[in-house]
């Protein structure tokens, strides 16, 4: 990583590796001006230093509840927004993305709250790796300089696609094929978010 850090624009890590390695990698990335993305899964206490080194947090509703010490589940997007804002008061002005399953997602970026409805899923077959699929797609599109909200919407599409098929590796291969052969169609569908019924909702923080 020392030789390649200057070329890394985004670095995304999870808690499936030791915390000291995550901290070391983020410190190197920040030194070279990279954007750091943390998906704290499986959840464990997040050291203050690592919070300082993180630009974007991607969590699900259970992880958000755990990180603020709630014992009850977050049951709605409105509740998720309140809890995310509470957490941000503690950690500083970070970007926070909270995935809510069938309730879509909420995100806080700068002074804006973003709400997006979930993608329709005909039948849930296997949810293994859906969060990884969302996070990877989201960061990949940010790296390709897609707008933040469009990256979120497309990541939801990828995750929704993934849960309708059995086997993570199989789904990943087919999603790659689908996105490469239907790029124009996918972009058209994303553009429709700006004018259709699932238009992302944005509100300024007061």
Q: Which residues are catalytic?
A: 132
Beta strands in the chain (DSSP E): 10-14, 35-39, 56-60, 95-99, 105-109, 112-116, 201-204
Residue 6 tokens, joined: 């200057």
Q: Is the dihedral of CA 146, 150, 152, 154 positive or negative?
A: negative
Residue 98 tokens, joined: 């909270």
Phi, psi of 34 (to 5 degrees): -80, 155
């Amino acid at each position: 990583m020392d030789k390649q850090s200057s070329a890394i624009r985004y670095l995304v890590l999870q808690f499936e590796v030791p915390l000291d390695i995550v901290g070391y990698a983020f410190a190197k990335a920040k030194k070279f001006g990279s954007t750091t993305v943390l998906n704290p899964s499986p959840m464990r206490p997040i050291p203050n230093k690592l919070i300082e080194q993180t630009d974007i947090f991607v969590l699900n509703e259970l992880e958000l509840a755990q990180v603020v010490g709630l014992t009850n589940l977050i049951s709605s997007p409105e509740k998720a927004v309140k809890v995310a804002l509470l957490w941000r008061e503690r950690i500083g002005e970070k970007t926070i993305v909270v995935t809510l399953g069938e309730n879509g997602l909420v995100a806080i970026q700068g002074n804006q709250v973003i709400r997006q409805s979930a993608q329709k899923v005909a039948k849930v077959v296997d949810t293994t790796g859906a969060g990884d699929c969302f996070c990877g797609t989201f960061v990949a599109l940010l790296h390709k300089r897609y707008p933040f909200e469009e990256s979120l919407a497309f990541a939801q599409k990828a995750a929704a696609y993934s849960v309708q098929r059995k086997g993570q590796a199989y789904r990943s291969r087919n999603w790659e094929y689908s996105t490469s052969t239907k790029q124009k169609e996918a972009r058209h569908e994303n553009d429709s978010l700006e004018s259709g019924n699932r238009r992302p909702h944005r509100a300024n923080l007061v």
